[in-house]
Amino acid sequence: RRGRRQMALRLPILLAAAAGAHALVATPYRCPGATRITTCTSLPSATATGRAPLTSLMMASMAVGTASAGFPAELMPVKTNALTRFLTATQFLAASVVTILFWYIPLVPLYLYSLVFDRSRRRACDWIVQIWARCTLSLLFSDIRVEGLENLPPRDEAVMYVPNHCSFLDIFALSGYLPRRFKYISKIEILRIPFIGWAMQFAKHIAIKRMDRASQVQTVRDAVDCLKAGSSLVTFPEGTRSKDGRLMEFKKGPFSMAAKAQVRVVPISIIGTHLFQPPGSAFPMARPRGVKLVVHPPLDAPGKKKEQETLEQARAAVLSALPKSMQPLKDESA
């Protein structure tokens, strides 16, 4: 009986101690440059945080367990089944269709306004496209994080954004969560999609026919004119989506455009979208959670015959934020 009484008295104390330890360990930090509360892989010291050294060691061990040596932390793939994939696809389709139909109400008059007062940039249409993408992912209860906002150029500066590309969700994430207005160089097939493609045409996004040499030449001209007119561009320098999420070689085209327009180049690392909607999947298979956009410091406009140098710098910057599972296979043994 005495032992039971002692245990009954100690139990609330043990539970309180356990709850306090859990609160200390689970308390999130704000990463430098992040727009949401998230757990940092580079942890503050115990002195800086005011926490006990043991707590810092426990948190450090948790971070190490999610990252490969020398690489950023991995984003763990989610488990799905036929039912959850169907429900997610249905929710995404409903969210995207409902929001685009709703936002067409202001889009059409804003498009007509832009034809008269802002024919070259069409900022009002860009604003609608951003809200539509943000609403679609929000209705899917997505968790998209942006780091490196301090590296973004001024809002009135036209630049060439060069992110990696591994999922159709990349366009939604960039359009909805990067706080800048820009155009895409996109396949002509996407601009022909009802409502979505039409909205992109209203905003004056640039179309390209991949197998048509004349179309490629015209695309370069349109892109340079777009940059010189004051609109930023997003161009995926890999040329297509990576099939396995690993970074592919960059093509020279976007950097030649930046050189001709004499605009700076901003590398962006997109992490994790392929886990939720891999290439070949028409709709997301799971709600995007923990996806990150990492904005790197801008690179100077490429000089004459210096496009390759800027290309290599941009690719190195994108690589620096990718986890091991997204690194090129040939670089893993290096």
Cα torsion 249, 310, 181, 132 to 10°: value is 10
Boundaries of domain holding 218: 79-326
CATH number at residue 130: 3.40.1130.10
Q: What does the pLDDT read at residue 19?
A: 38
For the cut 50, the answer to whether the pLDDT of residue 111 exceeds it is yes
Q: What does the pLDDT read at residue 262?
A: 96
Asked if residue 12 belongs to a domain, the reply is no
Say how many domains are in the chain: 1
Asked if residue 135 belongs to a domain, the reply is yes
Assess contact for 324 and 332: CB atoms under 8 A. Answer: yes
Q: What does the pLDDT read at residue 313?
A: 97
Distance of CA 296 to the CA centre of its chain: 12
C-alpha distances (whole Å) from 218 to each of 112, 209, 262 are: 25, 10, 18
Q: What does the pLDDT read at residue 187?
A: 84
- Least trusted range by pLDDT, from 71-85, 89-103, 138-152: 71-85
Assess contact for 167 and 277: CB atoms under 8 A. Answer: yes
Q: What does the pLDDT read at residue 66?
A: 52
Helix H, strand E, coil C: the string for the chain is CHHHHHHHHHHHHHHHHHHHHHHHHHCCECCCCCCCCECCCCCCCHHHHCCCHHHHHHHHHHHHCCECCCCCECCCCCCCCHHHHHHHHHHHHHHHHHHHHHHHHHHHHHHHHHHHHCCCCCHHHHHHHHHHHHHHHHHCCCEEEEECHHHCCCCCCCCEEEECCCCCHHHHHHHHHCCCCEEEEEEHHHHCCCCHHHHHHHCCCEEECCCCHHHHHHHHHHHHHHHHCCCEEECCCCCCCCCCCCCCCCCCHHHHHHHHHCCCEEEEEEECHHHHCCCCCCCCCCCCEEEEEEECCCECCCCCCCHHHHHHHHHHHHHHCCCHHHCCHHHHCC
Asked if residue 11 belongs to a domain, the reply is no
15-42: per-residue pLDDT in tens?
A: 344 333 333 333 333 333 333 433 333 3
Mean pLDDT of 313-325: 96
263-283: per-residue pLDDT in tens?
A: 999 999 999 999 999 988 989
Residue of higher predicted confidence among 127 and 65: 127
Asked if residue 13 belongs to a domain, the reply is no
The pair phi, psi for residue 164, each rounded to 5°, is -75, 165
Mean pLDDT of 117-126: 93
When pLDDT is cut at 50, 70 and 90, the band that residue 52 belongs to is very low
Asked if residue 16 belongs to a domain, the reply is no
Tell me the average pLDDT of the chain.
81
292-311: per-residue pLDDT in tens?
A: 999 999 999 999 889 999 99
64-75: per-residue pLDDT in tens?
A: 335 566 788 888
Q: What does the pLDDT read at residue 68?
A: 60
Asked if residue 74 belongs to a domain, the reply is no
221-278: per-residue pLDDT in tens?
A: 999 999 999 999 999 999 999 999 999 999 999 999 999 999 999 999 999 999 999 9
129-147: per-residue pLDDT in tens?
A: 999 999 999 999 999 999 9
153-211: per-residue pLDDT in tens?
A: 999 999 999 999 999 999 999 999 999 999 999 888 888 888 888 899 999 999 887 77
Asked if residue 8 belongs to a domain, the reply is no
Q: What does the pLDDT read at residue 186?
A: 86
Asked if residue 24 belongs to a domain, the reply is no
